Amino acid sequence: MPRIEDRTDAELIDLCNSAASPVATAAFTALYRRHRGYVLRVAMRFAGDRDTTLDALQETFTWLLRKFPPAGEGLTLTGKLTTLLYPVAKHSALDLRRQARRDTTGIEVPDQPAPQPPTNDLEAVFAALSDDHREVLVLHYVEGWTLAEIAAALAIPLGTVKSRMHLAVKELRDDPVARQFFSA
């Protein structure tokens, strides 16, 4: 019998859904250890600071934990777990960031991240892309997701993902600074 850490995500989720408490706890711990780095990377993209990122990590895995018995009905994994965790981590980070911007009277301060100057020309090129275009590029080329996985995670049609990808690549091709990085 394989060690719990060596099991697939689907097997671990099945254990979380149906196993006795110590086995379910060990399975959830294995899922957390396997995917915490990924959730941290996603949350950092949207949170802007370390504390908010760590809070988003906690919120994401609390959400996942509530899916399993006895609190929840259970979870059926139909794709990659990262595809399921991505929107939760993203929205947790954005919500926490928004909450942090509220002043003491409870009035929300407009969401304006502190401008951080790009450290090089390539970062400046990517910073100039819209959030939607940059997000599909990162998910596809950095995270290695398929276009269908991106569509599922973002809850948008596949055609929208393709359109955003096409427009983002076109923007990069049309940018003279970007061309110097990608022509080699």
Pick from 52, 25, 27: nearest CA to 40 = 52
Same domain, 170 and 155: yes
CA distances 20 to 27, 90, 114, 147, Å, are: 11, 31, 47, 38
CATH of the domain at 146: 1.10.10.10
69-98 pLDDT, tens digit per residue, is 888 888 988 889 999 999 999 999 999 988
Q: Can you name the residues that pair with 108 across neighbouring β-strands?
A: 102
Same domain, 7 and 37: yes
What is the pLDDT at residue 138? Answer: 87
Place of tokens 């408490």: 21
- Among residues 110, 130, 158, which one ends one of the domains? 110
Same domain, 96 and 124: no
How many folded domains does the chain comprise? 2
Which residues are CB-contacts of 3 (< 8 A; sequence separation ≥ 6)? none
CA–CA distance, 160 with 42 (Å, rounded to integer): 21
Q: What angle in degrees, to the nearest 10, is found between the helix axes of 81-100 and 21-47? A: 60
Same domain, 102 and 124: no
Same domain, 93 and 180: no
Same domain, 17 and 51: yes
Q: For residues 19 and 34, which has the higher predicted lDDT (pLDDT)? A: 34
**pTM for this prediction:** 0.74
Q: For residues 114 and 54, which has the higher predicted lDDT (pLDDT)? A: 54
What is the pLDDT at residue 32? Answer: 97
CA–CA distance, 134 with 45 (Å, rounded to integer): 11
Same domain, 38 and 59: yes
Same domain, 122 and 104: no
| pLDDT of 99 above 90 | no
| pLDDT of 35 above 50 | yes
What is the pLDDT averaged over residues 13-31?
A: 91
Pick from 111, 63, 124: nearest CA to 89 = 63
- Among residues 72, 92, 110, which one ends one of the domains? 110
- Among residues 110, 126, 151, which one ends one of the domains? 110
Same domain, 97 and 145: no
What is the Cα Rg of the chain in Å?
A: 19
What is the pLDDT averaged over residues 17-24?
A: 86
CA–CA distance, 26 with 4 (Å, rounded to integer): 7
Same domain, 55 and 7: yes
CA–CA distance, 82 with 90 (Å, rounded to integer): 12
CATH of the domain at 93: 1.10.1740
125-141 pLDDT, tens digit per residue, is 777 888 899 899 989 98
What residues make up the domain containing 75? Answer: 1-110
Taking the mean position of all CA atoms in its chain, how far away is CA 169?
21
